[in-house]
Amino acid sequence: MTDILMPRLTDQMEAGTIIAWLVEDGETVDVGQEIVEIETDKATIAHPADAAGVLETVAGVGDSVAVGEVIARVGVAAEPIASGSRAAGGLRSNGKAAGALVTPLARRLAGAHGIDPEGLAGSGPGGRVTKTDVMRAAGIEVAPEPDRSDLAPVAAPRTPVADTGGPASDGRPGTRVQQPTRLQQIVARRMAEAMATIPHFQVQTEVTMDAALALRVQLKEAAGDGTPAPSINDLIVKACALTLPDHPLVNGSFKDGAFELHDHVHVGIAVASDDGLVVATIPDAAIKSLGQIARDSRRLAERVRTRTATPPELTGATFTVSNLGMFGMTAITAVINPPQAAILGVGASRPTLARARSGEIVDRQLLTLTLSCDHRILNGADASRFLLDIKRCLESPLRLAL
């Protein structure tokens, strides 16, 4: 008998919730076959079996289980499951989705409308039935996605926290109690811990963005219709990726009392999901083209919003960019995502009047960058040199297009 344990699917995961068992008790499973959907603090992820045999579930649907605790057991090995079965591909022979491939949101929506989601053909990754599939089956018109090409991944509107519908516990009239989601609870706790344990300091600069904005216009024209051009946030991520290798402490971590200096540059981007802020990771960003970074950021943002992101897509960032410019915010002072050494807060590009070298008054587009730093690994000079190099890169942006 082999124990199947609650896996650690993200860097700071402490527990996971069983959303659905994809294989029933007594059925045979093969190594690598997806057997359970687990909700973490950041996403809903299908987890495979690491042994072959007959499945015996221990944790039930809806149970929250600590990392490392037993959620199931696999008994005497059975014959490997044939390709084309439900476990192997998740699709029935008629092309309809099996119950294993229905997102939790789609499952709840289907129940509300009396629709069997297993009878739908999924349009999501791997044939997964999504909210859109259920809405179409229910006869609900699905509005087309707006053009987000000018926005950073964080631009998704945030859904209000669920309301309990009752008065406050002290009975005060006109007061409602809202319960935070598990993700919001975890984020609140981690942010409090970060502020209490990390000595933050900030450095700030203003970047003249006229050249970068002109470059984006050219890229948009070159891309043509139907091909999103890199956003301003993509330009900033690329600038960070190019600059970080020259500043190993900024790309480093303070962990267990020591400095960890990373040879790779994995840039995290803050994405607003329905119930909280999630950092997705663009791996090896320093060696990726601007176009590839743009494609990666859009793909990651969509996977975060649909809760289909995988653990590697949500972990391992060595530096993070958090952009609130699309909301018109002038500047943002972000909280460090430990164990990273720094996080870059990005404000909105805004028109200003400036005096040119010739003495005349000219229009300029200024953008405020705020670098929050861990004083245990970085000092003011380290941070200032890094931010100055970012500024130079964005003000002479042709290098970003290489």
Measured CA to CA, the distance from residue 85 to residue 29 in angstroms comes to: 11
Task: Supply the DSSP symbol for 394.
Answer: H
Give yes or no for residue 341 having a pLDDT over 90: yes
Average pLDDT of the chain is 81
What's the total number of domains in the chain? 2
Q: Do 201 and 332 belong to one domain? A: yes
CA angle, residues 234, 240, 246, in degrees to nearest 5:
155
Of 10 and 232, which is predicted with more confidence?
232
Same domain assignment for residues 125 and 201: no
Do the domain assignments include residue 169? no
CATH number at residue 392: 3.30.559.10
Helices (H), 170-289: 182-197, 210-223, 232-243
Asked if residue 166 is part of any domain, the answer here is no
| Residues 314 and 219 both lie in one domain | yes
Rounded-to-integer distance, Cα 253 and Cα 251, Å: 7
Position 304 scores a pLDDT of 86
Residue 166 burial (CB count, 10 A): 9
* 305 found inside a domain: yes
At residue 330, φ and ψ (nearest 5 deg) are -70, -40
Q: Is residue 152 part of a domain?
A: no
User: What six digits make up the tokens of 245?
Assistant: 């290798």
Could you tell me if residue 172 is inside a domain? no
Of the pLDDT bands very low, low, confident and very high (cuts 50, 70, 90), residue 151 is very low
Phi, psi (deg, nearest 5) at residue 159: -80, 135
Residue bearing the bigger pLDDT, 12 or 309: 309
Please, which pLDDT band fits residue 143 given cuts at 50, 70 and 90? low
In this structure, are 131 and 191 located in the same domain?
no
Do 17 and 115 share a domain, yes or no? yes
- Does 99 share its domain with 232? no
CA dist 6 and 47 (Å) reads 9
pLDDT grade for 171, boundaries at 50, 70 and 90: low
Q: For the domain that residue 76 is a member of, what is the CATH number?
A: 2.40.50.100
Same domain assignment for residues 128 and 272: no
150 in a structural domain: no
- Domain region containing 101: 2-137
Q: Please state the rounded mean pLDDT for residues 14-36.
A: 86
Same domain, 238 and 366: yes
- pLDDT, one tens digit per residue, over 287-335 is 999 999 999 999 999 988 887 888 888 889 999 999 998 888 999 999 9
Whole-model pTM?
0.65
242 and 320 together in one domain: yes
Tell me the longest C-alpha to C-alpha distance in the chain.
Answer: 84
Tell me what the mean pLDDT of segment 365-394 comes to. Answer: 96
The amino acid at 401: A
Q: Which of 152-161, 268-277, 285-294 has the lowest mean pLDDT?
A: 152-161
Give the pLDDT band of residue 391 (cuts 50, 70, 90).
Answer: very high
Which H/E stretch holds residue 118?
A: none
115 with 252, same domain?
no
> What pLDDT, on a 0 to 100 scale, did the predictor assign at position 120?
86
Angle 80-85-87 (CA atoms, 0-180°, nearest 5)? Answer: 75
Task: Give me the pLDDT at residue 381, please.
Answer: 96
Active site residues: 375
Same domain, 324 and 202: yes
Mark which of 100, 117, 137 sits at the end of a domain: 137
Establish if 214 belongs to a structural domain.
Answer: yes
CB 80 within 8 A of CB 30: yes
Return the pLDDT at 152: 46
Which of 100, 118, 137 is the C-terminal boundary of a domain? Answer: 137
Determine the average pLDDT of the residues in 256-272.
92
Q: For residue range 40-78, what is the model confidence (pLDDT) as tens digits?
A: 776 778 888 888 888 888 888 888 888 889 999 998 643
Give the end-to-end CA distance of the chain in Å, rounded to a whole number: 55
Strands of 168-318 (E only): list them. Answer: 176-178, 200-208, 253-255, 258-260, 267-273, 276-282
Confidence of residue 156 (pLDDT cuts 50, 70, 90): very low
Distance CA 106, CA 109 (A): 5
Q: Residue 376: pLDDT above 60?
A: yes
Q: Give the mean pLDDT of 7-30.
A: 83
Q: Are residues 133 and 205 in the same domain?
A: no
- Establish if 161 belongs to a structural domain: no
